[in-house]
Amino acid sequence: MGRKIVIVGDYGSGKTEFSLNLAKTLAGQGKLVLVDLDIVNPYFRSREATELLESMGVEVVYNRDYRTADLPALSPRIDAVLSGPETVILDVGGDGGAVVLGRYRPLLLKQQADIWLVVNCMRPFTADPAGIINAARRSEGKARLSITALINNTNLGRETQADHLRHGAEILARASAQMGVPVLFHCARPHLIPHLREFGDSLFAMELSLFPADII
């Protein structure tokens, strides 16, 4: 049975870019599905990369009757893939998406889904452990599902330096200790990877798929 991985995060966290990069990383390792549950924000949704992902063998699920619309329409295919053997990544957008995610709570609990919170410590509301914990609790309250890991995506877009990610790592380490969940990955643009070797296997290369070059 494939894993079910739910990606949540505040606006500006980079959760959609992380979802897309995770899908590209896992492509070719068995049946993979990316579900777009970003039903509120019309910008930077994972469905915009449908052609790219499908060329890599990744199925992208959303209500295709409403591809460019800002409507809370859900594909009936979601229940099928959450119940099936596929590895599934769910890109969940904001509080509205978290509320909708609660609809699938029984299936996700049955499948022992991972719930990963993507954090950018350069954003004002997740700049310290208290803010990160608040973001986590808000998502948990809306979806009625517990965060199982944190993803460090601390960045300043084009101005990001290696020390920014290190700064985020220190903050997330404190949040992690208070929450009792691990920091699973530290995300960095490819040109920064050689300068962050201390993160070892937890370093995750992030290519931009949707965003302008100065936004991540």
Encode burial over 21-33: b for 16+ CB neighbours within 10 A, e otherwise.
bbbbebeeeeebb
Coil, strand or helix: which one is 33? Answer: strand
Task: Return the SS3 of 154.
Answer: coil
pLDDT tops 70 at residue 70: no
Q: What is the pTM of this model?
A: 0.90
Q: Is 214 exposed, middle or buried (0-12, 13-18, 19+ CB in 10 A)?
A: exposed
Arithmetic mean of pLDDT, 129-145: 95
Question: Does the pLDDT at position 75 exceed 90?
Answer: no
**Mean pLDDT of all residues in 25-40:** 87
In degrees and rounded to multiples of 5, residue 90 shows phi and psi of -110, 120
Q: For the chain, what is the mean pLDDT? A: 88
Residue 3: pLDDT above 90?
yes
Per domain, the residue ranges of the chain are 4-205
Q: Give the pLDDT confidence of 169-186 residue by residue, as tens digits.
A: 999 999 999 999 999 999
What is the architecture, at CATH level 2, of domain 4-205? 3-Layer(aba) Sandwich (3.40)
